[in-house]
Amino acid sequence: MKIDVKVPAVGESVTEATIGSWNKKNGEFVKRNDVLLLLETDKASVEVVAENDGVLNIAVEAGQTIKIGSVVASIDTDGKASAGPTTSASAATSSSAAPSASAPAPAASAAPAAFAGNGASANTHLSPAVQKIVAERNIDTSSVQGTGKDGRLTKGDVLGAPAGGAPAATSAGGAASAKSPAPAKPAATPIFPTGPSASGTQEKKLVPMTNIRKRIAQRLVESQQSTATLTTFNEIDMSKINDLRAKYKDKFKEKYGISLGFMGLFTKAAIEALKAFPSVNAYIVGEQVEYHNYFNIGMAVSTEKGLMVPVIKNAENLSVPQIEMAIRDFALKARDGKITVDDLNGGTFSITNGGVFGSLLSTPILNPPQSAILGMHKTEDRAVVINGKIEVRPMMYVALSYDHRMIDGKEAVGFLVKIKEGVEDPERLLIEI
């Protein structure tokens, strides 16, 4: 029996998707719940899995854009693999003879490859993006050190690995990145692989925008054209929060398995400020104002495909460790291309941290229909006047971009002052004042 593989509905406003890559080959035997392909929509990437065991017959090739509900392949539950089954593209190539054409392939998760330097860990899962690179470059995953969660391979790991199965050299940087849930950012793929022309010939290259990049561009223009955006600034003395992190960082990581960062405490400070200034947590809907008694905080995450803003729902009910873990989970999902449409919906306020890239000051753009966004920046030692004396303190500029149709300047300034008070005196966050 043949069963159609259709493009699933991934959100009310999503009408089409692009096939980013096929993880299985035409004629290959697949198992139920194997990842067949990666879809790219204008909001997120979505994995499509097999609903039955059988032989895959691909009808639409990678790179094509199709409507939601379209048939892109079929699975013949009575069929036999036509070209000799293989494990998924994530499996390392083998010099042994291929199995017989009638033997079904094991699921991708059943073909682990041990990580170098981590004998107890096994590579039991690769993201679609990593699978594609491994297959294209014929990389021996058993010789690559994984720096992701639980020793998993990231795109940065395989991009830095030699092609053709040669062992990859480990580095101090790789070891350091393994300690953090956010892996080191891989080197960008050059637009012109051969580099500048030795003869000085001028070249041009047109590269189609991805659906996600198109949507980002569209929303940014809509934001600028449909809101009366204004930005106000303040600066925060980070001395106490730095002391707090230094005092408890080891115990925090020992208990929760993650580092104590700035974002959890800033999110808590933002929630207290939102409680004090409800209009910053509200939307304009037509000629009405929609207020919210909950706080869904969007966290801007930079990915290779563009900026995404997954949302921590009901953040007011979470502790600082729970917020940090939610941020960590979103970072991992974004890295692996697994952010869903549901992850991106429902935000009432957003936070973006350009400081991780070295930004000293910026004016964030609103994420409609939200009325405001907080911008965090790089912490830098500066000379400031404290009680009439010049002292060197770690200072951070913060920015609040807001829709002036909804929020008055007095409220915007008061909002930032409230955040400043919470971060400069973290005890206030414990008693919510």
State the DSSP code for 151. G
Beta carbons of 266 and 351 less than 8 angstroms apart = yes
C-alpha R_g of the chain? 25
DSSP state letter for 160? T
User: Could you please report the per-residue DSSP string of 40-105?
Assistant: E-SS-EEEEE-SSSEEEEE-S-TT-EEETT-EEEEEETT---SS-----TTSPP-SSPPPPTTSPP
Q: What is the DSSP letter of 300?
A: -
- Classify residue 268 by burial, with Cβ atoms within 10 Å: 0-12, 13-18, 19+: buried
Is 408 one of the annotated active-site residues of the chain? yes
d(CA 276, CA 354): 25
Main-chain phi, psi angles of 36, to 5 degrees: -85, -45
Catalytic residue among 250, 342, 381, 404: 404
Is 263 strand, coil or helix? helix
Nearest CA among 258, 259, 280 for reference residue 269? 280
Phi, psi angles (nearest 5°) of residue 270: -65, -40
Q: Is 68 in contact with 9 (CB distance < 8 Å)?
A: yes
DSSP class of residue 354 equals G
Cα gap 251→257, rounded to integer Å: 10
Cα distance between residue 229 and residue 223, in whole Å: 9
Is residue 369 reached through a cis peptide bond, with omega within 30 degrees of 0 on the bond before it?
Answer: yes
Please name which of 181, 171, 130, 190 lies closest in space to residue 336, comparing C-alpha atoms.
Answer: 130
Nearest Cα to Cα of residue 394 among 386, 403, 402, 383: 383
Side-chain half-sphere exposure of 291, counting CA atoms within 13 A? 7
Active site residue 404: yes
Catalytic residue among 250, 343, 408, 425: 408
Residues marked active site are found at 404, 408
